[in-house]
Amino acid sequence: MGSLLLPVFLLFAYQIVLGGRVHEVTGVESVFGIVPMCAVISALFGSLGNSVGITTDRESHLLSRIWVLPIHRASAITGWVLSEVVRAFIGTILITAIGLAMGLRFTQGWPAALAFILVPSIVVTGFTALVMAMAVRNNGRTAMTWLLAITFSMAFVNPGATPIGLFPDWVRPIIRMQPISPPIETMRALAHGGPIAWPLMITLSWAVVLLAVFIPLAVRGYRLAAEASA
């Protein structure tokens, strides 16, 4: 629940402070960008919060006890990922409900609305793999501090609250491709309409690449942490 506090605060703050300005510039209600942004941020911050538990489990030697249990070695990692997917799904429903009260409407039908709610869960699968790979390391706390700082900065430099066209020309490609932006653009298109193929493809690509790169690293780190504390 703690991972919802900042996104919900940002949802109200951005809507109150920037809502009118964004509508003047784009002709679209700001809630169509702010709600997706806050839903994605909530999912990522929830995964970052879970990293504290992973680090604590490593330091308390719980990982070594789980490692020797008569269960599949991938069970713990699979459980971590699935728990974050469910957490992101529930968080997105809550934030979307607040957004509906603030004027969010789904103009593309209920199938698009369901896809809208599922996008943050897709995003968090790859991000959780990254978090696990960092958290199980010996220097996990330091690594997570850097990852938190990077994630926090991305939370404020994306098209959710500020249209990409208002950023300097040289930084627009970076903002457009950073991991938080494509999901926001995808969710905006699902709710209000607009191009969806490109941002959806980039969203899925980020999730697949992060899973492919960091799941093996997370498994290796989990094994090393378990064996080192055995």
In this predicted structure, the answer to whether residue 187 has a pLDDT above a threshold of 90 is yes
In this predicted structure, the answer to whether residue 121 has a pLDDT above a threshold of 90 is yes
**How sure is the predictor about 8, in pLDDT bands with cuts at 50, 70 and 90?**
confident
What's the rounded Cα separation, in Å, for the pair 61 and 79?
A: 18
For residue 85, give the nearest of 115, 43, 114, 116 by alpha carbon: 43
- Three-state DSSP at 116 gives helix
Q: What residue numbers bound the domain in which 33 lies?
A: 2-228
Q: Tell me the pLDDT of the chain averaged across its residues.
A: 85
183 vs 155, more confident: 183
Residue 26: the pLDDT is 59
**How sure is the predictor about 173, in pLDDT bands with cuts at 50, 70 and 90?**
very high
Q: Which residues contact 198 (CB under 8 A, 6 or more apart)?
A: none
In this predicted structure, the answer to whether residue 203 has a pLDDT above a threshold of 90 is yes
Do residues 44 and 124 lie in contact, with contact meaning Cβ atoms separated by under 8 Å? yes
Residue 230: the pLDDT is 54
Over residues 172-196, the mean pLDDT reads 93
What's the rounded Cα separation, in Å, for the pair 38 and 93?
A: 11
The percent of residues in the chain predicted with pLDDT above 70, rounded, is 87
pTM exceeds 0.85, yes or no: yes
Q: Which residues contact 78 (CB under 8 A, 6 or more apart)?
A: none
Do residues 169 and 117 lie in contact, with contact meaning Cβ atoms separated by under 8 Å? no
175 vs 64, more confident: 175
Over residues 86-114, the mean pLDDT reads 92
Residue 3: the pLDDT is 60
In this predicted structure, the answer to whether residue 122 has a pLDDT above a threshold of 90 is yes
Over residues 26-40, the mean pLDDT reads 83
For residue range 35-81, list pLDDT tens digits in order.
999 999 999 998 888 777 777 777 777 776 766 666 666 777 888 88
What's the rounded Cα separation, in Å, for the pair 225 and 63?
A: 7
19 vs 89, more confident: 89
181 vs 144, more confident: 181
